[in-house]
Structure 1
Amino acid sequence: MAMTNCPECGRSVSTKAVTCPHCGYPLPADAPFRTPPKPIDPSWTAKYEAIIRKRKVWHWVAFWLTLALFALFLYLCLFDKIDTSVYTFRDSYETKEEWLALSCVFGAFSIISLGFAIGTSARLKMYTETLCGYTVVVYLELTLATLIVEDQVVANFFRRTFFRKGLAAKLPDDTPYYVRYKNGRAEFSFSPFDAEENSTDKITF
């Protein structure tokens, strides 16, 4: 017999039950159901960790490359001599301004690259839920979040998007659902959060 959790009290009930035997909450027969999370396969964890490591390497490569270019252009700006002769003074001065502008650009890029590199290196939280028999995982890093369904990466997105309005996705059987992070907890819902904030099918854990 398949079991699910009551959306009202959170206790285990049969998916065939009309009402929760613990609190009396009505359970529609056609409602999508939640079951206790299945253990995460170690092989899946190893596979996804490999993806994270590869992404981290590229972020660090980008950081060191942009940092080197920043140092180069800053050096040229500071130590490139200005020819004070009448014919070349203006060109030399404009060249130093160009070095300064390029050093500022690559300095900004190096800071951004460093942020992504550190963010990829720090996994903050992982949330696992089983919806309609499918394993759904939200994988939070410092700057990015990843949504995975049945070992398949559905989307990578900035955490700001995940925090504010959540993400719409579909299960393999085309059942739509929504996921977001709010008040330190992950929430899954089968209806849009902004359309029905107090939806009874919202799952928070």
Structure 2
Amino acid sequence: MGIYDKLFNIQQQLNAPKNQRNNFGNYNYRSCEDILEAVKPLLRENKCVLKLSDEIIYTEGRYHVKATATLTDVETGEKEWATGLAREEESKKGMDGSQITGASSSYARKYALNGLFCIDDNKDSDSTNTHGKEGKSSTTNLSAAQIRRLYTLANNAGYDKAKIEQMISTKYKKDIKALTKVEYDHVCNGLEGKK
């Protein structure tokens, strides 16, 4: 049995319910730790090792944490991986710099794990909750720099401009410029995982 058979088994059996509660936003969510606890028995059963790593990258004038989740078949050494990206906030009330980086790391790792194990957070309030900011950044049109970044990520993932525009139009029923920040982040994280 190769890495894809084992990954298939893990994806089919993995159950990571949303056991965490955000009372402020009034929604349930799953954390990176929840996914890790749920996957550990499946890793043992399938003779695989999971490794998470982070890289700090600087793009578009901001720091981002790029997390990589790598699944390795212990028997063959074959690997499969996915990445997730989270932007560090410049400041966050009550948090120092290391806490901000740690929170970004957790978020990026969660989305790398989501990509690797086919966990769909589209209906997860954690990915759609705006904490009462619906009139602000969630509906603001994307900047020219964000659109350039999206096209660059698409190109690196093997999609030309027409193909990524068609994919976004099919999925979101709108033009790239009209994507919300949450939708934009979701598309970029998916493209990062395809590299």
Give the number of the structure whose residues are more often helix, by fraction: 2
- Could you tell me the TM-score, scaled by structure 2's length? 0.19
In our comparison, the structure showing a higher alpha carbon Rg is 1
Quick one: higher RCO (CA 8 Å, sep 6+), 1 or 2? Answer: 2
- Could you tell me the TM-score, scaled by structure 1's length? 0.18
